[in-house]
Protein backbone atom coordinates (compact mmCIF):
# COMPACT_ATOMS: atom_id res chain seq x y z
CA UNK A 1 0.00 0.00 0.00
CA UNK A 2 1.42 3.36 -1.01
CA UNK A 3 2.24 5.81 1.75
CA UNK A 4 1.31 9.45 2.13
CA UNK A 5 2.45 11.38 -0.92
CA UNK A 6 3.27 15.06 -0.81
CA UNK A 7 4.04 17.27 -3.78
CA UNK A 8 6.13 19.14 -4.55
CA UNK A 9 8.99 17.98 -2.35
CA UNK A 10 10.95 21.20 -2.71
CA UNK A 11 10.00 24.66 -3.85
CA UNK A 12 11.34 28.19 -3.72
CA UNK A 13 9.13 31.27 -3.64
CA UNK A 14 9.61 34.96 -3.04
CA UNK A 15 7.95 37.14 -0.45
CA UNK A 16 4.41 38.12 -1.33
CA UNK A 17 3.76 35.12 -3.55
CA UNK A 18 1.40 32.32 -2.69
CA UNK A 19 1.94 28.59 -2.67
CA UNK A 20 -0.22 25.48 -2.82
CA UNK A 21 0.95 22.15 -1.42
CA UNK A 22 -0.72 18.85 -2.12
CA UNK A 23 -1.17 15.71 -0.04
CA UNK A 24 -2.55 12.32 -1.07
CA UNK A 25 -3.32 10.16 1.96
CA UNK A 26 -2.94 6.43 2.25
CA UNK A 27 -5.72 4.68 0.37
CA UNK A 28 -8.75 4.35 2.62
CA UNK A 29 -7.63 7.05 5.03
CA UNK A 30 -10.17 9.82 5.37
CA UNK A 31 -8.45 12.18 7.80
CA UNK A 32 -5.63 14.50 6.78
CA UNK A 33 -3.65 16.78 9.09
CA UNK A 34 -1.00 19.36 8.31
CA UNK A 35 2.01 20.40 10.39
CA UNK A 36 4.67 23.06 9.99
CA UNK A 37 8.19 22.16 11.11
CA UNK A 38 10.81 24.84 11.68
CA UNK A 39 14.06 24.82 13.68
CA UNK A 40 12.79 27.61 15.90
CA UNK A 41 9.22 26.53 16.60
CA UNK A 42 9.44 22.79 16.10
CA UNK A 43 6.36 20.92 14.92
CA UNK A 44 3.19 22.96 14.98
CA UNK A 45 -0.30 21.82 14.07
CA UNK A 46 -1.96 23.72 11.25
CA UNK A 47 -5.30 22.03 10.64
CA UNK A 48 -7.12 18.74 10.22
CA UNK A 49 -9.70 17.68 7.66
CA UNK A 50 -12.16 14.82 7.60
CA UNK A 51 -14.89 14.24 5.04
CA UNK A 52 -14.06 17.53 3.33
CA UNK A 53 -14.63 19.52 6.53
CA UNK A 54 -12.08 21.23 8.71
CA UNK A 55 -12.36 19.56 12.12
CA UNK A 56 -9.57 21.18 14.04
CA UNK A 57 -7.36 24.21 13.60
CA UNK A 58 -4.11 25.40 15.08
CA UNK A 59 -3.02 28.91 15.89
CA UNK A 60 -1.93 30.21 12.51
CA UNK A 61 -2.96 33.39 10.69
CA UNK A 62 -5.64 33.37 8.04
CA UNK A 63 -2.98 33.36 5.30
CA UNK A 64 -2.81 29.62 5.93
CA UNK A 65 -5.76 27.73 4.55
CA UNK A 66 -6.59 24.26 3.42
CA UNK A 67 -9.21 22.08 1.88
CA UNK A 68 -10.01 18.45 1.33
CA UNK A 69 -11.56 16.87 -1.71
CA UNK A 70 -14.07 14.05 -1.97
CA UNK A 71 -11.27 11.54 -2.66
CA UNK A 72 -9.63 12.62 0.66
CA UNK A 73 -6.74 14.36 -1.07
CA UNK A 74 -5.89 17.64 0.60
CA UNK A 75 -4.24 20.90 -0.31
CA UNK A 76 -2.95 23.71 1.81
CA UNK A 77 -2.37 27.23 0.62
CA UNK A 78 -0.24 29.99 2.03
CA UNK A 79 -0.86 33.45 0.65
CA UNK A 80 1.31 36.55 0.85
CA UNK A 81 4.38 34.55 1.80
CA UNK A 82 6.73 35.83 4.46
CA UNK A 83 10.32 34.83 5.14
CA UNK A 84 9.18 33.12 8.32
CA UNK A 85 7.00 30.74 6.33
CA UNK A 86 10.11 28.89 5.21
CA UNK A 87 9.62 25.44 6.68
CA UNK A 88 9.04 21.78 6.10
CA UNK A 89 5.30 21.22 5.74
CA UNK A 90 4.23 17.75 6.74
CA UNK A 91 0.99 16.04 5.92
CA UNK A 92 -0.31 13.07 7.90
CA UNK A 93 -3.22 10.76 7.35
CA UNK A 94 -5.26 8.37 9.46
CA UNK A 95 -8.21 6.10 8.81
CA UNK A 96 -10.67 7.93 11.02
CA UNK A 97 -11.14 11.02 13.09
CA UNK A 98 -11.36 9.78 16.65
CA UNK A 99 -9.68 6.57 17.71
CA UNK A 100 -6.50 5.35 19.36
CA UNK A 101 -4.45 5.11 16.20
CA UNK A 102 -1.31 6.86 15.10
CA UNK A 103 -0.65 9.27 12.27
CA UNK A 104 1.13 8.30 9.07
CA UNK A 105 3.32 11.09 7.77
CA UNK A 106 4.49 11.98 4.31
CA UNK A 107 8.03 13.07 3.58
CA UNK A 108 7.08 16.72 3.49
CA UNK A 109 7.26 19.71 1.21
CA UNK A 110 10.21 21.97 1.93
CA UNK A 111 9.33 25.58 1.22
CA UNK A 112 11.99 28.26 1.00
CA UNK A 113 10.85 31.88 0.88
CA UNK A 114 13.39 34.40 -0.44
CA UNK B 1 -2.63 24.01 27.84
CA UNK B 2 -0.98 20.86 26.64
CA UNK B 3 2.80 20.79 26.55
CA UNK B 4 5.54 18.28 25.99
CA UNK B 5 9.12 18.67 27.16
CA UNK B 6 12.15 16.84 25.89
CA UNK B 7 14.80 18.16 28.25
CA UNK B 8 17.79 17.04 26.19
CA UNK B 9 18.44 18.52 22.78
CA UNK B 10 21.11 15.90 22.14
CA UNK B 11 21.86 12.43 23.43
CA UNK B 12 25.10 10.70 22.55
CA UNK B 13 25.70 7.02 23.20
CA UNK B 14 28.13 4.35 22.09
CA UNK B 15 26.91 1.50 19.94
CA UNK B 16 25.87 -1.45 22.06
CA UNK B 17 25.10 0.66 25.10
CA UNK B 18 21.56 1.27 26.35
CA UNK B 19 19.91 4.53 25.41
CA UNK B 20 17.21 6.67 26.99
CA UNK B 21 15.48 9.68 25.46
CA UNK B 22 13.43 11.58 28.01
CA UNK B 23 9.96 13.04 27.69
CA UNK B 24 7.66 14.68 30.21
CA UNK B 25 4.25 16.12 29.53
CA UNK B 26 1.70 18.46 31.01
CA UNK B 27 -1.75 17.50 29.81
CA UNK B 28 -5.09 17.45 31.49
CA UNK B 29 -6.65 14.05 31.92
CA UNK B 30 -5.08 10.85 30.63
CA UNK B 31 -3.54 11.52 27.25
CA UNK B 32 -2.41 9.18 24.53
CA UNK B 33 1.39 9.23 24.21
CA UNK B 34 3.53 8.64 21.14
CA UNK B 35 7.10 8.48 19.95
CA UNK B 36 8.09 9.30 16.38
CA UNK B 37 11.49 9.28 14.66
CA UNK B 38 12.67 11.49 11.82
CA UNK B 39 15.63 10.79 9.55
CA UNK B 40 17.23 13.65 7.58
CA UNK B 41 14.96 15.13 4.92
CA UNK B 42 12.25 12.62 5.70
CA UNK B 43 8.87 12.67 7.37
CA UNK B 44 8.08 11.24 10.79
CA UNK B 45 7.87 7.53 11.37
CA UNK B 46 5.77 6.07 14.16
CA UNK B 47 7.67 4.05 16.77
CA UNK B 48 5.22 3.26 19.55
CA UNK B 49 2.29 4.50 21.58
CA UNK B 50 0.75 4.25 25.01
CA UNK B 51 -3.01 4.07 25.16
CA UNK B 52 -3.79 2.19 28.33
CA UNK B 53 -2.73 -0.87 30.30
CA UNK B 54 0.85 -2.03 30.83
CA UNK B 55 3.20 0.85 31.57
CA UNK B 56 5.94 -0.65 29.41
CA UNK B 57 5.11 -0.56 25.72
CA UNK B 58 7.18 -2.14 22.97
CA UNK B 59 7.48 -0.72 19.50
CA UNK B 60 9.39 -0.90 16.27
CA UNK B 61 13.13 -1.57 15.86
CA UNK B 62 13.58 -2.81 19.43
CA UNK B 63 12.46 0.42 21.07
CA UNK B 64 10.30 0.50 24.16
CA UNK B 65 8.91 3.24 26.37
CA UNK B 66 7.94 3.43 29.99
CA UNK B 67 4.88 5.38 31.04
CA UNK B 68 4.97 6.85 34.53
CA UNK B 69 1.75 8.57 35.48
CA UNK B 70 2.96 10.04 38.77
CA UNK B 71 5.96 11.64 37.09
CA UNK B 72 4.04 12.39 33.88
CA UNK B 73 6.88 10.92 31.89
CA UNK B 74 7.14 8.68 28.85
CA UNK B 75 10.81 7.91 28.32
CA UNK B 76 12.00 6.07 25.22
CA UNK B 77 14.52 3.28 25.73
CA UNK B 78 16.50 0.69 23.87
CA UNK B 79 18.71 -1.94 25.52
CA UNK B 80 21.44 -1.86 22.87
CA UNK B 81 21.88 1.11 20.54
CA UNK B 82 22.81 0.83 16.87
CA UNK B 83 24.56 3.40 14.70
CA UNK B 84 21.48 3.30 12.46
CA UNK B 85 19.37 4.56 15.39
CA UNK B 86 20.96 7.99 14.96
CA UNK B 87 18.07 10.33 14.15
CA UNK B 88 15.76 12.99 15.57
CA UNK B 89 13.22 11.66 18.06
CA UNK B 90 9.93 13.33 18.93
CA UNK B 91 7.60 12.70 21.82
CA UNK B 92 3.96 13.63 21.24
CA UNK B 93 0.72 13.64 23.19
CA UNK B 94 -2.91 13.73 22.23
CA UNK B 95 -5.78 14.69 24.45
CA UNK B 96 -8.27 11.83 24.68
CA UNK B 97 -11.03 14.28 23.88
CA UNK B 98 -9.37 15.61 20.76
CA UNK B 99 -9.40 14.53 17.14
CA UNK B 100 -6.79 12.03 16.03
CA UNK B 101 -4.71 14.45 14.01
CA UNK B 102 -4.16 16.97 16.81
CA UNK B 103 -0.82 16.10 18.38
CA UNK B 104 1.37 18.24 20.60
CA UNK B 105 5.03 17.57 19.94
CA UNK B 106 8.16 18.09 21.99
CA UNK B 107 11.06 19.99 20.45
CA UNK B 108 12.87 16.79 19.56
CA UNK B 109 16.04 15.08 20.75
CA UNK B 110 18.91 14.41 18.36
CA UNK B 111 20.27 10.95 19.09
CA UNK B 112 23.78 10.16 17.92
CA UNK B 113 25.13 6.66 18.27
CA UNK B 114 28.83 6.40 17.56
CA UNK B 115 30.61 3.18 16.50
Q: Verify cis geometry, omega within 30 degrees of 0, for the bond prior to B72.
A: no
Confidence at residue B30, expressed as pLDDT on a 0 to 100 scale:
82
The 3-state DSSP class for residue A73 equals: coil
- Whether residues B101 and A90 touch (CB distance < 8 A) is answered with no
pLDDT in tens, chain B (115 residues): 789 999 999 999 999 999 999 999 998 788 899 999 999 888 999 999 999 888 999 999 999 999 999 999 999 999 999 999 999 999 999 988 888 888 999 999 999 999 9
Question: pLDDT at residue A63 above 80?
Answer: yes
Does the beta carbon of A105 lie under 8 angstroms from any beta carbon of chain B? yes
Note whether A84 contacts B: Cβ–Cβ < 8 A: no
Q: Identify the pLDDT of residue A61.
A: 96
Collapsed DSSP state (helix, strand, coil) of residue A9: coil
Cα–Cα separations (whole angstroms), residue A64 to A41, A90, A96, B102: 16, 14, 24, 17
- Tell me the nearest-neighbour CA distance from A83 into chain B, angstroms: 20
Contact with chain B for residue A68, Cβ under 8 A = no
Residue B93's H or E segment, with its range, is strand B87-94
DSSP string, A19-72: EEEEEEPPTT--EEEEEEEETTTEEEEEEEEETTEEEEE-S--TTEEEEE-TTS
**Cα distance between residue A9 and residue A46, in whole Å:** 18
Q: What angle do CA A35, A41, A44 make, to 5 degrees?
A: 20
Give the mutation candidate from A76, A103, A111 for the B interface (greatest B CB count, under 10 A): A103
Of B13 and A40, more confident: B13
Q: Which of A46, A42, A89, A50 is nearest to A69 (CA)?
A: A50
Residue A48 has its nearest CB partner, among B34, B36, B102, at B102
The per-residue pLDDT for range A88-114, each reduced to its tens digit, is: 999 999 987 777 788 999 999 999 999
CA–CA dist A36, B86 (Å, integer): 23
Give the DSSP H or E segment for B67. Answer: strand B64-68
Amino acid sequence: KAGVTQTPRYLIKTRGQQVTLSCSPISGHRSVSWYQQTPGQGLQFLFEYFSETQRNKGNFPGRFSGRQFSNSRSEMNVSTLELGDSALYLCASSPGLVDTGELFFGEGSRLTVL
Amino acid sequence: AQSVAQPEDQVNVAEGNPLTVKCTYSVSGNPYLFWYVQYPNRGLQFLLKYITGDNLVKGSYGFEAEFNKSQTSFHLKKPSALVSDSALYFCAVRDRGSTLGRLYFGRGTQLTVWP
